[in-house]
Structure formats: C-alpha cells, structure tokens
Structure 1
Amino acid sequence: MSGDSLAGLGYLALLLLALGGAYLASHRQSVGKSLQMALVWGMIFMGCMAIYGLWGDISRDYGRKSLPITRQDGAIALPRAPDGHYYVTAEVNGTEIDFLVDTGASDIVLSRTDAARIGFDLDELAFLGSARTANGVVPIAYSRLKTIRLGPYLDQGISVSINGGEMDKSLLGMSYLGRFGRIEIAQDQLILQR
C-alpha cells in the first residue's frame, strides 16, 4: 500500500470517527440503539469494501465463458470483457476450451490443463521447443489439433503449441486468427470474418 493510500485511509477513518461522534452526540438518549445501528452500517461498509477489493478476482473467475456471436453477415463478434480483453469459447477436438484472444501470440497455445482435457497425454509430449513469454522462457511441445470450431467455422489439422509452464488461460494466437480475412475492433467488439 502506498503512502497516498495510507493517508487516504487515515483521512476516511478520521472522517467516519467525526461523523459517528456527531451522530452519537445528537442521539444521547438512545446510545445503545445508536451503537447497534453504527455497527450495522459499519458491517455494510466493510462488505462493500470487500466486494470492491475482490471484484477483479470475482470477475476473472466467473463469467469468462464467451460464446461467439455469429452475425447475419457471417462474421463472429466477441464482446470486450470488463478487463479489456477478448475471450472466446471454441470447441477443440470435441471439447469446449476457453481462450484469451491474443494477437501478440504467434500460435494457438494450450495450457497443460486444457491440453489434457482434449486428449493429449502430457507424459508423452516432447517439450523440445521454448518460447519467450512475459513470464520468462518456457518449454513448448508442438502438435496438431484434429478439429477446432469457432462459431460456424470448422478447421482441421491446425498446429498448436502446448505450454510446459504455468498458464491461466489458453491463447488463441495469430496462426489461427490469420485465417480470417478481417479482424476489426469496433464498438467494444472484436469482429472476425472470413
């Protein structure tokens, strides 16, 4: 916590103490009831602060399943998530996988968990490659997907990288996104069209 945050927190505590003192002074005859109400409001305030502080974790863990919206013109529209990223659920080898759409990733990159879910035996994979990521260099295994379906589009035999390191979410990178003739961001939507 920075010095500014501590100063702001101290200011709020003093303000609440002053307001609480003024309220108690004006309602001296029912101090017990006033303390009870102050405790209730304090609990409500603390609950709101907890929700505000944890909102990033809550929104990351829930509501990330983003099914593609197929428009009448055949384009796929993905809504922007509250964190500013685009997520999509695609069917890979018959299993739904949640992806972060990442134009900075060269390939489709599967997390170890997602790779196992779609049938890869992690003990049989040869992690011979490496990739430089924001988290450092990680081992990579290369393979191919039987199928990947995104909205109305079905592709077969697409190359894929399996990340040997820790990864929260699989990435839908440019080796797949490049199959779309148009990639556009408009009105808080990522639009993909072939």
Structure 2
Amino acid sequence: MKRISFYPLLFLILSGCNSDSNTTDSNTPSPSPSAPTETVTLAESVKKSLELSYSNHEPQLDRTESLEGTDDDGNGVRDDIDMIISDTDADETVKQALIQHAKSLQNEMKVDWDSLGEEEGKAAMRQLSSDSIRSKRCLMESLGSGFSKVTRTLKALTYNTKARTMHYLKGNKVANGMAFSVGGHENACE
C-alpha cells in the first residue's frame, strides 16, 4: 500500500499565506530577488571557443581513412585540429596546453596495436598513459576546474572516424586491467 504524505502540500499552502505583501514592516518595498548570475569558468569558455572554431572549420576536418591524418608542420598534431585550436580566442598558454593534449591523443594513432606483443603493447600503453596524464594535468593547471570537458572535445575531434575510433578501442583493450600512476607530473606543461 502506498503512503501519501500531505505535509509537503500543507507546507506549500501555509508558506503562501503571507506572500501577498511585498513590503516590510516599515512599509518600504522589499527588494526583488535578482536573477542568479551565471559564472562561466575558463574551461567552459575554452570549450565553447573550440566548438565555435570547429563549426567554422567543420568542412575541413580530416575524415580520411588514415589514422594519423596530415601533419605538414610536423608538430605531432593533425593540421585540422591545429587550425581549430589556433582559431580559438584562448591565450597562448592555453593554446599550448590544448596542443600538448591533442598531441598526446594523436600519439596513439601512431601505435600499431596489431603488430605488438602483449608486453610491448602494455609498455606502449604505459607511455601513452603517462603522456596523456601529463597533458591533462597541464590543462588542469591552465584551465582549472572543468578541464575534462575540453579533453572530451579534443578526443572527439581526434577520433572522428570509424577507423580512428576502432583504433582507440584496440588501445583500450590493451589497457584493460592495467593500473596507471597519476602522480609525479610536476611542471606538466611543455
């Protein structure tokens, strides 16, 4: 049998009894509650800037079957992602942190999981994980709270084709059951 409580309803009725008056005891109007102000963190601002830049450059996003894509300048980041990062309104320190993380994501595209033995694969995953944790720590230092939303956006840009996503999942399979250290990354930004 369901129990129905009338206390919340009674509370609402009683709390509304004295709400007709918008004045205080001295007959001066009481201030109206102001609308809550929305605080936008730096991380949220950078995420929105990345999304805006993506929408401006979406037709140029590399969707080829190549896992690595094109990196004409050789900085370790696909040129299309470089373009999106450089088009954000973030300052240079933040852009460098974004590039560092994009590079750590891109490095996984260079690993041929199928040709590595179990121990070699785990060693490669440890190195990739260490680089990723370091780049995330740099983003955390640069952006503060909410940096993980930016990392997810960069991950989505990097693994933007079926072949790249499947490659990422192969890496996850190698990492299954492994433990990774998250400490020891002082001065994380390159």
TM-score bracket for the superposition, by shorter chain length: under 0.3
Higher helix share: 2
Higher strand share: 1
User: Given the two structures, how large is their TM-score scaled by the length of structure 2?
Assistant: 0.21
Ranked by relative contact order (alpha carbons within 8 Å, sequence separation 6 or more), the top structure is: 2
